[in-house]
Structure 1
Amino acid sequence: MKTRDMILISMFAALTAAGAFIKIPTPLVPFTLQFVFCAYAGIFLGAKHGLYSQILYVGIGLIGIPIFAHGGGITYIFQPTFGYLIGFIIGAFVIGKLTEGLKEIKVWRILGAVLSGLFFVYFFGVSYLYMIVNLYIGKAMTIKGAIAAGFLPYITSDFILSILVALTAVHVIPALRKSGLAKVITE
């Protein structure tokens, strides 16, 4: 791996961490900007390096550095929101896979990729929320309740953010190509 790649991977891990601190507290799952940087990691770094950036972010948090929305440490795996972090890893990979090598950079194509990644973030996030609340915390929560707590309050804002990511990416990608920095995204 080249030094440039390691720097970019680290940078997107740090941006995702910064996104955790830009939050609006809500009862169970806080609204943060982490997904925005997760999506950009997939778009700008590609599947493999986008995946690495999110693994690095989660790994740093699990070793004890408080970079998650509610802290850090290995015991964070028992937080109801940990599934969203797993979703960021998968989401960045999916977004990268769907945007790598796009011949035409169109808003709807980028948006489709971002929404596909968002699906996995919510899939893992809501599933983990349901599992932890029922099995670890010991409270009864239905699947409908998990969806109501971990999906419905956030999907509108995440959809709007996904549109903004797609709108900005279609302008940034050509600039990266022109400067020679877009290695992963080819014409």
Structure 2
Amino acid sequence: MKTTKNTRNLILVAMFAALTAIGAFIKIPIPYVPFTLQYLFCALAGVILGSKLGALSQIIYVMVGLAGVPVFTEGGGLSYVFKPTFGYLIGFIVAAYVIGKIREKIKELSFIKAMGMLLAGLFFIYLFGVIYLYVSYNLYLGQPMSLYFAFFNGFVLCISGDLILTAFAAYVAIKIVPIFKRFGYI
């Protein structure tokens, strides 16, 4: 029984790492930070896998990309750490953990609770993303950027699409979590 559960967890963690990679290639290019489906799969990883395994799926995704596999929106490799958008990838790890942790504490998931849980995770993606965007432009890219400009381009231009994804993920969560609970997967 334990081997079956471990195997299932291994498969799900790998699947969500792969889905996040696929989400990187489904993108709408906007200046500085492209809109992708990565957040959707990161959020669902936290919802379905929980805090530790959800975060692990995102850690694997980031590690595979840093190892040189071109799974990020603009390729891969260790030098990706110097891309202004790398902070969002760090945020995915934290967001999956936060979303999973909140979901683990919720007894009965409603749409409102799911939205709150997902928005908490999204907050951390933008927190890490905007700060990293600002720091990267000002410290090592040598292109001065105001905090307002980083906030506008890294948050304001992107948030509407992510709010739509949040609502969609919340809808999926309220449908799928009871099924996973019924079968003892979460």
Q: Percent identity?
A: 52
Q: Which runs of 4+ in 1 moved over 4 A?
A: none
The answer (yes or no) to whether the contact 2:33–2:158 under 8 Å persists in 1 is: no
RMSD of the alignment, in Å? 1.0
1:175 equivalent in alignment to 2:175: no
1:42 equivalent in alignment to 2:46: yes
The answer (yes or no) to whether the contact 1:173–1:182 under 8 Å persists in 2 is: no
* Structure 1 counterpart of 2:167: 163
1:154 equivalent in alignment to 2:158: yes
Q: Which secondary structure does the structure 2 equivalent of 1:5 belong to?
A: helix
2:112 to 108, 111, 114: 108
Query: What TM-score, normalized to structure 1?
Result: 0.95
* Structure 1 counterpart of 2:62: 58
The answer (yes or no) to whether the contact 1:95–1:116 under 8 Å persists in 2 is: yes
Of 154-163 and 63-72, more deviation after overlay is shown by 154-163
CA distance in 2, matches of 1:136, 1:24: 26
Q: Which amino acid counterpart does residue 109 of structure 1 have in structure 2?
A: K
Query: What TM-score, normalized to structure 2?
Result: 0.95
Offset of residue 24 of structure 1: 0.6
Q: Which amino acid counterpart does residue 87 of structure 1 have in structure 2?
A: G
* Structure 2 counterpart of 1:129: 133
The answer (yes or no) to whether the contact 1:83–1:124 under 8 Å persists in 2 is: yes
**Mind listing any 5+ residue stretches in structure 2 that lack a counterpart?**
none
1:64-87 CA distance string (max 9 Å, x none): 000000000000000000000000
**Mind listing any 5+ residue stretches in structure 1 that lack a counterpart?**
none
* Structure 1 counterpart of 2:33: 29
How many residue pairs get aligned? The number is 182
CA distance in 1, matches of 2:178, 2:78: 40
* Structure 2 counterpart of 1:83: 87
